[in-house]
Structure 1
Amino acid sequence: MRVGRWEDSAVLVGRILIAALFVAGTLQKAASPEGAAGLLAGFGLPEWLIWPATLFNALAAFSLLTGFYLRPMALLLAGYCAVTSLFHLIPADPWQMSIFVKNWAIAGGCLVLAAHGGGRFVMTGR
């Protein structure tokens, strides 16, 4: 048993920090879906897609916080972050470009979690 390894604690804190983004995304979409729905509509996508995205954000946060099925969820999250970054690819708007880059950074962190797992502090389920 690996007791006292700082790496497992660091991975847990990293998972919590990434999960905070998806908790906030869930709450934001649920409380005020108009903004994200409008963004979808602006790209010619149906506004109702906001609800599966909200559910996915909630499941992602749960998986990141608990470690339950973390590897497959982290892989899905990397793809989700890559795809959703395209909504923010507006080179003339520095704020949107920072969100674009942030999404790719989160995708990178999720790929690391997918490859290496969630450390010692995970629920069962792979």
Structure 2
Amino acid sequence: MNDVLLLLARLLIALLFVGGAVQKAVSPDDAGALLAGFGLPVALVWGALVYNALAGVALVAGWAVRPVALSLAVYCGVTSVFHFLPDDPWQISIFVKNWAIAGGCLALSVAGAGRFAWATQ
């Protein structure tokens, strides 16, 4: 049962990051506005899109789950800064969710892919 739950965890977390990549592709201006608000280049959206997509696919495939999940945990922590806008309850909700997702990614980095991996770990 643990392997089934690890697969489910990988798929659910991957869905979030692949969905984030799609969202950035469809509407890059939304993410770009957050970056610009911090004085960062809007072009960073495209690097984040590629990273989100590749990391999500790696989790689905079960490829290099430990290092990918660890890097995703760091990514969530770093990107949470962009959502720490105390006057906006929606952004604070995203801030807290980023840290919760980081926790799930840390757990995956400890547990690994489990038995149901389509790629070599």
TM, length-normalised to structure 1: 0.92
Q: Does the alignment pair 1:16 with 2:14?
A: no
Structure 1: give runs of 5+ residues left out of the alignment.
1-5
- 1:1-126 to 2 correspondences below 5 Å: 6-126=1-121
Identity %: 58
1:11-39 deviation line (CA, Å, top 9, x unaligned): 10111111111111011101111111111
Question: How far apart, in 1, do the equivalents of 2:70 and 2:120 lie?
Answer: 15
Task: After superposing the two structures, state which structure 1 stretch, 75-84 or 87-96, moved more.
Answer: 87-96
**Partner SS state of residue 29, structure 1:** helix
Separation in 1 of the partners of 2:29 and 2:86? Answer: 24
- Of structures 1 and 2, the larger Rg is shown by 1
Provide the C-alpha distance between the structure 2 equivalents of 1:25 and 1:10, rounded to a whole number of angstroms: 23
Q: CA RMSD in A?
A: 1.0
How far did residue 123 of structure 1 move? 3.4
1:94 deviates by: 1.4
Unaligned residue ranges in structure 2 (runs of 5+) = none
1:3 corresponds in structure 2 to: none
User: What residue identity is the alignment partner of 1:69?
Assistant: A
For normalisation by structure 2, the TM-score amounts to: 0.95
After TM superposition, give the deviation of residue 124 of structure 1 in Å.
3.9
